[in-house]
Structure 1
């Protein structure tokens, strides 16, 4: 008998979800693309279970709103290719959209997991991920002499997903869901140090912003005096982290100053900063040519390569314009950029509503997960990748799905079993 079939027969759907959730939260910083493989394989399997009527679609208002935004973005990308007559050339670039299309299916499967169980899995798996990220970062930076990229193979991606793990640990410690805060705080510090070693300057900006938001969300748990003490401790910890990573910080600062001088004094666009400025100039010029539907994915990449050659005499080519919304503007015009923005706007709106109405710790933790993901992706995406990378896309879906479910979703039982009785939710105001 197939061992996987045997294993599946001995595990309940809820138990399978536990292992699946552990893999999704642990793997992004440490095992990289495993999160994409796990999430997409789980989504396809869930789709098969739905088709076989062994699961049922869980549709609630917050999930439906995000689903509409996600599907509108996917439709805008396809429509841009149709309008530009590049559908055949762009087909292979549409494969990453499958990750987004799996959102409502994976949401329905995740909804059979008890909320408190999922919240603790997210916290503890992120704790392990932070320690793993630091171990890999120290080895890569000090032994290999490169910017830390963890298991992601890309410093920006590594820093982004590690930031999410750090904030999950911090939110878990402040929310009181996981009592072992003495484990969570060192894990968050470990993850923050790993981010410093990555050299990703935009995520360095995202970390304090997201951290302050997490603190403000949980401010009710502190009196005025203890909050001041907590802020003081946070400043000391930040200084310690900066001291440990001072070499990496100074190196990246020197590179930025050097690139800035080369760009302003000599018009040198061959540096990291110069390449970004060149891409942004090429991108805005391309957007003005086709502002509504854009150029399509493959044509946009060709335009970038041609622009580097014609305008700057450089033989360069990238898969994106190092700004998530500019990339969407060039590939799918205003329609693409607006629908992409709507995903983050709707997600943040759902989370803010929960934080306004609910005092339940698990629900507020879920809303915090969503807001942290929105802040991290938008900050990093201003000068890097927003969507379109397998690890980032899968991790974004993991946080939007689990966060939305914890914040405002309903728990359902697998088809064929009666749903557990739930008491009226006293945590919400009428």
Structure 2
């Protein structure tokens, strides 16, 4: 018997969404690519449900605007390959775009879950993820002697998704949605320490920025004195975390200073910083060569490898230019770069609109999800990878879908009527 059929006979659609949501929010830091498998499998299953009319599209204006931007980015990538005559060769490279194309489909299925239920799932699953991330980070750092990479297999990816989990815990504690605020604060501290052990400097920058935004979003719930007290507590907590992970911070700072000195004094591009600067220079040159449509999705690796050999005498190979927007500009020109930027601009606009007009804590929590995702991805993507990694792509979709739905979407029944979707006994207990 088909396992999906068996599952459907034993679980209601709302219950399936319940466990699906737990996996999507828990797995990125701890189980890595399981979030990609889960999200994409759920999206494909949603296509089947829509095709058989067991689900209906839930089209909200904010979701529709994001869908247009996401599809425009995908179209720009395909158009670049067509213009460069590499469409057939690039077909396999388009497979990751499926994650983005599933956005409106997964949104329609996810929105059968009651908003308060989904918000609590996101908070509690992220709480567990933060504790799991710290356990993995401690083991990898002290027992294996490597940068913490959790279940993601990559320190930068691990730091990015853990930062998001930290912010959900913090937002949950400040919003009042989940009453066990002490547990959430402890989880946020655990996740923040895991980020320190990842030694990912750009995400170290993202954590305080996103944290301040979370505090500002929820400032209406507290007096000015309380906000100031929270700020002081945050600084103290940050100092404690920095003290615990001081050996990592000192080492990474020394590396950065050393790399900077080598680059400026000797023109040494073989260091981590030097390699990034070299790729930014090569990317800028490649963009000027084909500014409108770009070189195509498969061009980055070849351009980088050839550029290192010709310009710097180095044998290096990377799949992207360590700047998300520069990579998009090289691969798909201005069309791709502007389309990618529009995704984040529209997401922020949707969130800001909700924060201006709504006092509902769940809606404001959803808007906060979107904002922290944008801040974290843009900060990390300036010197690393923005999209194009299976875990990052799936996690971005999870946050944009659930955040947009919570902030401004409507709940529908599986057949499409506006109605609560989850039975009371399926809701997580506060």
**Could you tell me the TM-score, scaled by structure 1's length?**
0.96
1:402-428: per-residue Cα shift (whole Å, max 9, x none)? 00000000001112x753279xxxxxx
Q: Equivalences for 1:265-280 in 2 at 5 Å?
A: 265-280=265-280
Matched residue, 1:330? 330
Cα drift, residue 37 of structure 1: 0.2
Q: Equivalences for 1:224-303 in 2 at 5 Å?
A: 224-303=224-303
Count of paired positions: 421
SS at match of 1:297: coil
- After the TM superposition, which parts of structure 1 deviate over 6 Å for at least 4 consecutive aligned residues? none
Cα drift, residue 160 of structure 1: 0.2
Matched residue, 2:390? 390
Matched residue, 2:319? 319
Matched residue, 1:159? 159
Matched residue, 1:203? 203
Gaps of 5+ in 1: 423-430
CA contact (8 A) 2:20 2:38 kept: yes
Matched residue, 2:34? 34
Gaps of 5+ in 2: 422-430
Q: Equivalences for 1:33-182 in 2 at 5 Å?
A: 33-182=33-182
Cα gap change, 1:4/1:288 in structure 2, threshold over 3 Å: closer, same or farther?
Answer: closer
Q: Distance in 1 between matches of 2:19 and 2:322?
A: 35
Q: Distance in 2 between matches of 1:180 and 1:39?
A: 28
Cα drift, residue 86 of structure 1: 1.1
SS at match of 2:71: helix
1:152-196: per-residue Cα shift (whole Å, max 9, x none)? 000000000000000000000000000000110000000000000
RMSD, aligned CA: 1.1
Q: Equivalences for 1:410-429 in 2 at 5 Å?
A: 410-415=410-415, 418-420=417-419
Q: Equivalences for 1:300-379 in 2 at 5 Å?
A: 300-379=300-379
**Could you tell me the TM-score, scaled by structure 2's length?**
0.96
Q: Distance in 1 between matches of 2:225 and 2:300?
A: 55
SS at match of 2:322: coil
Q: Distance in 2 between matches of 1:34 and 1:320?
A: 23
Q: Distance in 1 between matches of 2:54 and 2:2?
A: 21
Cα drift, residue 270 of structure 1: 0.8
Cα drift, residue 3 of structure 1: 5.4
